[in-house]
Amino acid sequence: MPSFLKKSSSKGGNGEFWKILVVDDEPDVHAITSVVARDIEFEGKKVKLYSAFSSEEARRILQEVPDIALAIIDVVMEKDMAGLELVRYIREELKNPYIRLVIRTGQPGSAPPREIVLKYDINDYREKAELSSNGLFTMIIARLREYRDIVELETQKRLLERSSFYSSVVLNSDIQDFEETLTEALDSFSNILGLTVKVEKLGEIKEDKFNESLPSVNLSWREDKSVEFSLREEINLSERIKVEFSKPLTLHQLEIISIFLERYLVTVNNYVLSKDLIETLYKVIYIISEVTETRSLETGEHVRRVGRLAKLLASKFGYEGEFLEFFEIAAMLHDVGKIGIPDAILNKPGKLSDEEFKIMKRHTTIGYEILSTVDHPLFKLAANIALYHHENWDGTGYPKGLKEEQIPLEGRIVSIIDVYDALFSDRVYRPAWSEDNVIRYIKENCGKKFDPRVCEVFFENYEEIRIIYGFKK
């Protein structure tokens, strides 16, 4: 058989083709189709024909050649219904919903068109006699247009799925290397699009002070294949990034990737801002707490350790994410109310009198009054901790004498941590205790001063606590 009947060799302007499979046992049909297809160019790509003279030969081509856009199939070949069996094979065994299938027959009586169209997943039915040169040209262009659209829709669907996945990854996890995650997402997009992508750093953008005008979410596209933007790394530092695809994107592909990039950059921007604010707030609260503790001749490290231990125990009770960050900061403010207690009482070396102890107990309500003035979840949490961290499980604590579950969990958690840390420190009224004595005291007061469940979690995780304190094994 002449080689031109097997496949055409004409190339499109960009080296790509629309692949068409002709399945027919008549050589003349292949010759006519080849002549018509030779002059077809659709969206910058020419047509490449693959010829099969039986359904078995067609099956081999379908297994070996990817991305065939159109198959023009004769019904009667080696068997009366060989073409229709091939259709079923393509749709059901190869599970290929994209290739456009056209049944072409010279014996319409053996394959009634209405019955065939209803029973088989085909896209067109033509009698050979009606496919003139113009008719064949029109049919091929129409089917290629369908194939282009369905493949584009599937591509958009996959892009949206990956875009949603990577957006959720950023929103729901504590990613540290946003640039690496972005590159991974772009590689995934390029695989879907069947092209390559190059990510290039163009240099850093620095600001001496915070500037909301940093171009962190502005996309600059060039020729539908290259985009530049700034990825914020720190509050005053961004990295200029250039992403270049190996070929232009379609309008919808560009829109999907643009939406993803904009959301990604906004998420990163918000993360950096939020992280900076939390770190700044942490430092401010540490300074405030340290000043408060210094008034009572105690070290500011006490509040830092209480915060770290509170975060650890809260995580064991199922708290996570932003709440844990809040919990650590809020716990550091547990004694902020001491700012309203006179130095003579705070620093008295001996036992307090009943009247002095009554004044000392007011630090819980003073702290609550200070912190509850701020309408923010962190300060509401801090206000509760300040108010309730001296309540006892058996109801003997202060300021309200609450017992058991009446005491908010955050107060019960900080209660045991505050006592544990305080007993390790020298105070004006007593020296520091040994670890054995501290542990003995905590165990003796489980179910009395401390919530039994909080005690249980405390000791279940005691090795982690010891690591925080730098204790040797």
Is it true that 3-148 and 296-469 share their CATH fold?
A: no
Question: What's residue 9's pLDDT?
Answer: 41
Please pick, among 128, 338, 400, 443, the residue that the annotation labels catalytic.
338
Where are the domains positioned within the chain? 3-148, 153-271, 296-469
Class of domain 3-148: alpha beta
Low-confidence ranges of the chain (pLDDT < 70): 1-15, 107-113, 131, 170-176, 207-216, 289-300, 426, 428-429, 471-473
Q: Which amino acid is at 291?
A: V
Q: Is 378 left (phi over 0), alpha (psi -120 to 50) or beta?
A: alpha
Within 8 A by CB and 6+ apart from 4, the residues are: 34
Distances (CA, A) of 265 to 217, 256, 450: 6, 14, 46
Domain 296-469: assigned CATH number:
1.10.3210.10
Q: Rounded CA gap, 289 and 299, in Å?
A: 10
Asked whether 70 and 145 are in contact (CB, 8 A), the reply is no
Q: Which amino acid is at 276?
A: D
Structure tokens at 421: 């840390």
| Ramachandran angles phi, psi of 48, nearest 5° | -120, 120
pLDDT digits (tens, 9 = 90+) for 429-460: 678 899 999 999 999 999 999 999 999 999 99
Asked whether 416 and 442 are in contact (CB, 8 A), the reply is yes
Distances (CA, A) of 345 to 354, 393, 418: 12, 26, 19
SS3 161: helix
Q: Rounded CA gap, 175 and 211, in Å?
A: 24
Q: Rounded CA gap, 274 and 70, in Å?
A: 53
Question: What's residue 131's pLDDT?
Answer: 67
Which helix (H) or strand (E) segment is 155 a member of?
helix 133-172
Q: Rounded CA gap, 144 and 97, in Å?
A: 14
Is the CA virtual torsion 41, 43, 45, 48 positive or negative?
A: negative
SS3 102: strand
- Is 275 among the catalytic positions? no
Q: Rounded CA gap, 155 and 192, in Å?
A: 7
Q: Rounded CA gap, 300 and 209, in Å?
A: 29
Burial class (CB in 10 A: 0-12, 13-18, 19+), 194: exposed
Asked whether 268 and 232 are in contact (CB, 8 A), the reply is yes
Asked whether 457 and 317 are in contact (CB, 8 A), the reply is yes
Structure tokens at 465: 């606590």
